[in-house]
């Protein structure tokens, strides 16, 4: 494990949002390094639309874990597309974070970026290493929503970021192949599971709500966004009117709100966002777990965290045939949309204690501890190249 480094992670989500791979990685790197988790920079339009909300977000610098500090950028220095304001606000943000970094010592930081629109941060803090962590095909994500002009702009940003990085870490082999064509210093590091936390949760009581839920409980745990096939979820709910379709996670839909409304059936329980510590308990209470992803360019290169977490609970998992599911094909029920409901029934019927142990065994080595050790090795090699 690398040690005694200062790492600035420019995150696209707040620290108290549902935990993603960057939360897992940074919380472990902080055990032997100093980590600054920089929450998203506000945009001018959001500041003008909801100024009070930004001002009431809490302290702008706090220690969330030992050696892990949350930094909230200045709400009065938002990202702006207007050139004079952009330069002025960027200068204020740079000076403000530099003031906080001085508390951690004189060490030059490692800059960890996760979004193509963060390239303007490069060079601001005399960083010793630039890491670009690619967890999605960002242009494919926008392809269904953005105009061609914006898509071309995003592709240019992504290409520039890839070229400038000292190390590109990708969560899917297809992403790694794409980036290697631009930057040879790419590393494939898939997602993982907090193995020990999930094993501990298996010995603890279920949330009380499970006493009220008719069985079988068919669960989806995760953010409900536009890559989820809501029509497929409705079909499952209709097929099991005496059971429960349990949805645990925040709603983050840009479109398809009509499909969401059509999912409001008597046996559908949407609990919204739950505390990070409670997520394993909600997962283990399900009889079968779902990965109902749409099949498109966006989902072709995702590596779902929930796949590892479901299996760590020993759950039978039904997934649409996204490429990532093939990594655990022997443990998943992979079914096209027309066979998805049938696969749910098969998963319920064939589940046994022995199969649950087998699924857990498959993902035991896919722990975040092992992944972070791999990342540490790549960081050390990148630091040697820079020297």
Class level of CATH domain 6-192+367-386:
alpha beta
Residue-level pLDDT at 91: 84
Please answer whether residues 366 and 193 qualify as being in contact, where contact means their C-beta atoms are separated by less than 8 angstroms.
yes
Helix axes 230-239, 340-350, angle to 10 degrees: 50
Rounded distance, CA 33 to CA 239, Å?
A: 51
pLDDT confidence bin for 138, thresholds 50/70/90? confident
Domains 6-192+367-386 and 195-363 belong to one CATH topology:
yes
pLDDT confidence bin for 372, thresholds 50/70/90? very high
Residue-level pLDDT at 179: 97
Rounded distance, CA 351 to CA 271, Å?
A: 26
Per residue in 198-237, pLDDT (tens digit) is 999 999 999 999 999 999 999 999 999 999 999 999 999 9
**195-363: in CATH 3.30.9.10:** no
Could you please report the per-residue DSSP string of 255-313?
Answer: S-HHHHHHT--TTEEEEE---GGGHHHHHHT-SEEEE-B--STTGGG---HHHHHHHHT
Percentage of the chain exceeding pLDDT 90: 78
Domain boundaries, given as residue ranges, for the chain: 6-192+367-386, 195-363
Tell me the average pLDDT across 21-32.
Answer: 98
Per residue in 278-308, pLDDT (tens digit) is 999 999 999 999 999 999 999 999 999 999 9
pTM attached to this predicted model:
0.94
């Amino acid at each position: 494990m690398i040690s005694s480094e200062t790492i600035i992670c420019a995150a696209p989500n707040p620290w108290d949002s549902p935990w993603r791979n960057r939360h897992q990685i940074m919380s472990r790197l902080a055990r032997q390094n100093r980590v600054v988790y920089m929450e998203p920079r506000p945009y001018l339009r959001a500041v003008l639309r909801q100024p009070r909300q930004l001002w009431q977000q809490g302290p702008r610098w706090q220690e969330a874990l030992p050696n892990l500090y949350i930094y909230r950028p200045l709400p009065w220095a938002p990202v702006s597309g207007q050139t004079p304001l952009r330069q002025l606000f960027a200068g204020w943000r740079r000076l403000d974070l530099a003031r906080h970094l001085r508390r951690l010592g004189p060490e030059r930081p490692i800059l960890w970026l996760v979004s193509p629109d963060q390239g303007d941060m490069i060079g601001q803090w005399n960083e010793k290493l630039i890491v670009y962590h690619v967890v999605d095909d960002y242009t494919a994500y926008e392809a269904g929503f953005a105009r061609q002009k914006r898509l071309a702009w995003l592709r240019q940003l992504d290409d520039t970021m890839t070229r400038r990085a000292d190390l590109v870490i990708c969560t899917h082999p297809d992403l790694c192949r794409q980036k290697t064509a631009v930057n040879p210093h790419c590393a494939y590091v898939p997602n993982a599971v907090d193995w020990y936390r999930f094993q501990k949760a298996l010995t603890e009581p279920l949330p009380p709500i499970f006493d009220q839920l008719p069985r079988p409980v068919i669960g989806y745990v995760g953010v409900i966004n536009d890559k989820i096939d809501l029509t497929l979820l409705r079909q499952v709910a209709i097929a099991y009117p005496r059971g429960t379709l349990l949805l645990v996670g925040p709603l983050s839909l840009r479109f398809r709100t009509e499909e969401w409304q059509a999912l409001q059936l008597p046996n559908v329980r949407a609990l919204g966002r739950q505390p990070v510590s409670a997520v394993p308990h909600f997962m283990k209470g399900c009889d079968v777990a779902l990965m109902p992803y749409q099949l498109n360019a966006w989902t072709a290169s995702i590596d779902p965290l929930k796949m590892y977490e479901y299996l760590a609970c020993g759950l039978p998992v039904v997934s649409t045939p996204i490429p990532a599911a093939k990594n655990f094909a022997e443990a998943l029920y992979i079914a096209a949309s027309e066979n998805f409901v049938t696969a749910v029934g098969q998963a319920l019927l064939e589940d046994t204690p022995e199969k649950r142990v087998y699924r857990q065994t498959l993902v035991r080595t896919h722990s975040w501890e092992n992944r972070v050790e791999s990342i540490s090795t790549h960081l050390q090699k990148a630091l040697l190249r820079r020297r």
